[in-house]
Amino acid sequence: MSTVGHVHEASASFKNNALIDAATYRSWYDASIRDPEAFWSEHGKRIDWIKPYTEVKDTDFTLGQVSIKWFADGTTNVAYNCVDRHLATRGDQVAIIWEGDDPTNSRSITYRELHGEVCRFANVLKARGVRKGDRVTIYMPMIPEAAFAMLACARIGALHSVVFGGFSADSLRSRILGCDSNVVITADEGLRGGKRVPLKRTVDEAIQGCPAVETVIVVRNTGGLGDKITSHPRDVDYTTARAKAASDCPCEEMGAEDPLFILFTSGSTGAPKGVLHTTGGYLVYAAMTHQYVFDLHEDDVYWCTADIGWVTGHSYIVYGPLANGATTLMFEGVPTYPSVSRFWEVVDKHKVTLFYTAPTAIRSLMGAGEAPVKRTNRSSLRLLGTVGEPINPEAWEWYYRVVGDSRCPIVDTWWQTETGGHMITPLPGAMTLKAGSATLPFFGVKPQIVDTEGRVLDGACEGALVIADSWPGQMRTVYGDHKRFEDTYFATFPGTYFTGDGCRRDQDGYYWITGRIDDVLNVSGHRMGTAEIESALVAHETVSEAAVVGFPHDVKGQGIFAYVTLMQGTSGSDDLRKALSAHVRKEIGPIATPDVILFAPGLPKTRSGKIMRRILRKIAENEFHALGDISTLADPSVVEDLVTKRRETM
């Protein structure tokens, strides 16, 4: 690689071997925008179809009639594409490398073994009456059975809803209820950084409020529950059930637009929404982006450090890599256990070539200095990636220089749960990289930057990021609430998909994501709605009102800042702060723990009672001189109180 300032050019040898060069990117991109129908008609063939499609793109972004269909008359099966079709050519190739939390624990699963495991799991589900269209909740640690379970659902046409194993019983319950799921798959316990996570116990607590749940399948992981792995007639011990299940199970023929999965994600208002992805377009898009963005070659060992509870785990641990017949690594643990060298030790142990992680992990490891990285070899690495939040140029340069030894291009991939796959991202052999920029759109993606009135801006500019036309990986609806889908994404700037992100475009046409411009927080790459945290806080008996905003945080990217007004007669104390934090953890999960709780005698409101978040953000950021006009507030004096209190917290 050569470097000028923050601009990096891939080496000649990387470029010579890359799948896509600059000229190919240009010509394919132009073709994909000029004639999406022809472009995707060609690239849709990358997966195997049972009945080939004749229709390609049938999409409408008009508010009131939003409808998104791709390859609609084709039929296929996702598990067939991720498993069965590879058996003839790569049955003995490793599909999944599993690296346990304990560094002495790992496991390799070939495509042939994967086939047997997915079929067995599918047969266990079928034996419990699970059928096409049913919703199955998966609340699992990062063990191979989580991937088997997802693929088993896909095989029989059931929808999975994976819930991150760090969510609380309350959060799990609302997600089970939110998609009317009557089956839950879990494990006895998870293991992270040497600590046990009581998954089954949390499931038991959650489903006290879910009368429809008839089956809980429990995978033995730590063995920590011993014989008490099942404690209720609805519980199924997976080890026993698996032993009785046949190792073959036919694939259900699915329409391209039949649902594949639901994934709950936070928005700016209300409870998390069930993002619905369907079969054909999603798989084509996940697989194609995975191949070209990571420049996937035959002997690559690919590792994405995400959790399968997030979309990154769906598209880029399970579906994209396996559809491409790749070797994908699944990691149960955390970056800092047993030591801060763990990531790089795993890279050396399994000769990882493509490594994909979050900026927050890079920033936290940066804090431990270069030595823990440099004492590992890492010579297998040839490409690095990031996802989840903007990466600051300092962290980018450190990742590039220290982790990649100034040899590996970095792909900074911008996308969302809703987009199914990468949207704005480098193709590493085709783009000159700029530290901090996600660079240019993927094939078929038509980004636009608009001002607050929705006027499309040209050239170098900054504004809201919208996407002007559909792409195959796009979410199809909010599960059970199509109106909410339209209102959330298509009402703000009619005729386009609104991303919720702000963005700058530079003179070279490169995109720089500036972060969310709605009331969504991005804490360590985890997405959270301010409204969710607020409602958790006001559910506490001492709280009368709460307002939550994000503020810059060195490691997490954004921290959670909570302004809390207490009930009359209650006074704020450190103990109460602790109690409120514990309460939020219980209601949502540890990832939602506030970083700062400020007891506010009053909140800045307009005369009509609307909380002025802009002011709260500035106070949280310590930008006391940039509060703007406060004269329109019902009671401007509350601002001075808050500033004084904020100074005390520092």
- The contact set with ligand WT7 (CB under 6 A) reads 265, 310-312, 387-390, 412-417, 438, 499-501, 513, 515-516, 522, 527
Residues found in the chain: 650
Sequence-separated (6 or more) residues with CB below 8 Å from residue 139: 162, 163, 165, 167, 172, 184, 185, 186, 199, 202, 203
CB closer to ligand WT7 out of 39 and 292? 292
Q: 414 a known binding residue?
A: yes
Beta-carbon-side half-sphere exposure of residue 232 (alpha carbons within 13 Å): 15
> Coil, strand, or helix at residue 258?
coil
Measured from the CB atom, the residue of 525 and 594 that comes closer to ligand WT7 is 525
Say whether 607 counts as a known binding-site residue: no
Closest CB 292 distance from ligand WT7, rounded Å: 16
- Of 116 and 321, the one with the shorter C-beta distance to ligand WT7 is 321
The token pair that represents 36 in the structure block: 């999406």
Report, in Å, the least distance between residue 404 CB and ligand WT7: 17
Q: Using the minimum distance from each CB to ligand WT7, give the nearer residue, 287 or 580.
A: 287
Structure tokens of 637? 């004096």
Strands (E), 129-243: 135-139, 159-162, 183-187, 190-192, 195-197, 215-219, 235-237
501 annotated as ligand-binding: yes
Burial of 285 (0-12, 13-18, 19+ CB in 10 A): buried
Query: Would you state the structure tokens that stand for residue 392, as one six-digit string?
Result: 């600051």
Q: 195 a known binding residue?
A: yes
Say whether 524 counts as a known binding-site residue.
yes
| Dist CA 63 CA 296 (whole Å) | 38
> What tokens appear for 393 in the block?
């140029």
Bridge pairing between strands 273-278 and 354-357: unpaired
In the complex, minimum distance from the CB of residue 99 to ligand WT7, in angstroms, rounded to a whole number: 21
Q: Does 543 appear as a known binding residue?
A: yes
Least distance from ligand WT7 to the Cβ atom of residue 525, Å = 6
| Residues 148, 318: Cα–Cα separation, whole Å | 9
Any known ligand binding at 412?
Answer: yes
Three-class secondary structure assignment of 50-109: CECCCCCEEEECCCCCCEEEECCCCEECHHHHHCHHHHHHHCCCEEEEEECCCCCCEEEE
Phi-psi category of 14—alpha, beta or left, where left has phi over 0 and alpha has psi -120 to 50?
alpha
Cα 496 to Cα 31, 66, 325, 575, distances in angstroms: 21, 10, 35, 48
Please name every residue paired with 389 in a beta bridge, in sequence order, or none if there are none.
Answer: none
Q: Which is nearer to ligand WT7, 443 or 497 (CB)?
A: 497
Give min distance, CB of 314 to ligand WT7, in A: 10
Q: Please say which residue, 56 or 354, places its beta carbon nearer to ligand WT7.
A: 354
- Of 402 and 467, the one with the shorter C-beta distance to ligand WT7 is 467
Half-sphere exposure of 224 (CA within 13 A, CB side): 14
Comparing CB distances to ligand WT7, the nearer of 558 and 593 is 558
Tokens standing for 493? 């700037």
Fill in the amino acid letter for 357. T
Q: Does 516 carry a binding-site annotation?
A: yes
Which residue type occupies 600?
A: A
Burial category of 606 from C-beta neighbours within 10 Å (exposed 0-12, middle 13-18, buried 19 and up): exposed
Least Å distance, CB 358 to ligand WT7, is 8
Smallest separation, CB 357 to ligand WT7 (Å)? 11
Burial 124-134 (b: 16+ CB within 10 A, else e): bbbebebeeeb
Smallest separation, CB 274 to ligand WT7 (Å): 13
Residue type at position 6: H
**Shortest distance (Å) from residue 40 CB to ligand WT7:** 22
> Which H or E element spans position 25?
helix 22-34
Report whether 425 belongs to an annotated binding site: no
Q: Rounded to the nearest whole angstrom, what is the least distance from the CB of residue 599 to ligand WT7 in the complex?
A: 30
* Residue with Cβ nearer ligand WT7 (157 or 529): 529
Establish whether 416 is an annotated binding residue.
yes
The verdict on whether residue 540 carries a ligand-binding annotation is yes
Supply the Cα-derived Rg of the chain in whole angstroms: 24
In the complex, what is the shortest distance from the CB of residue 469 to ligand WT7, in angstroms, rounded to a whole number? 18
Residue 59 CB, nearest distance to ligand WT7 (Å)?
A: 21
Min dist CB 172 to ligand WT7, Å, is 18
CB nearer to ligand WT7: pick between 113 and 501: 501
Closer of 57 and 516 to ligand WT7 (Cβ)? 516
DSSP β-bridge partners for residue 303: 329, 355
Going by their DSSP bridges, the two strands 477-478 and 273-278 should be labelled as antiparallel
Judged on CB neighbours under 10 Å (0-12, 13-18, 19+), 453 is exposed
Q: Which is nearer to ligand WT7, 40 or 489 (CB)?
A: 489
Give the nearer residue to ligand WT7 in terms of CB position, either 74 or 388. 388
Q: Is 527 annotated as a binding-site member?
A: yes
CB of 49 to ligand WT7, least distance (A): 27
Written as six digits, the tokens of 299 are: 């002997």
Nearer CB in complex with ligand WT7: 238/356: 356
Angstrom distances, CA of residue 514 to CA of 391, 411, 458, 491, 511: 10, 17, 18, 22, 9
Annotated binding site for Mg(2+): 538, 540, 543
Q: Residue ranges for the binding site for ATP?
A: 388-390, 412-417, 501, 516, 527
Residues at the binding site for CoA are 192-195, 312, 524, 585
Binding residues: 192-195, 312, 388-390, 412-417, 501, 516, 524, 527, 538, 540, 543, 585
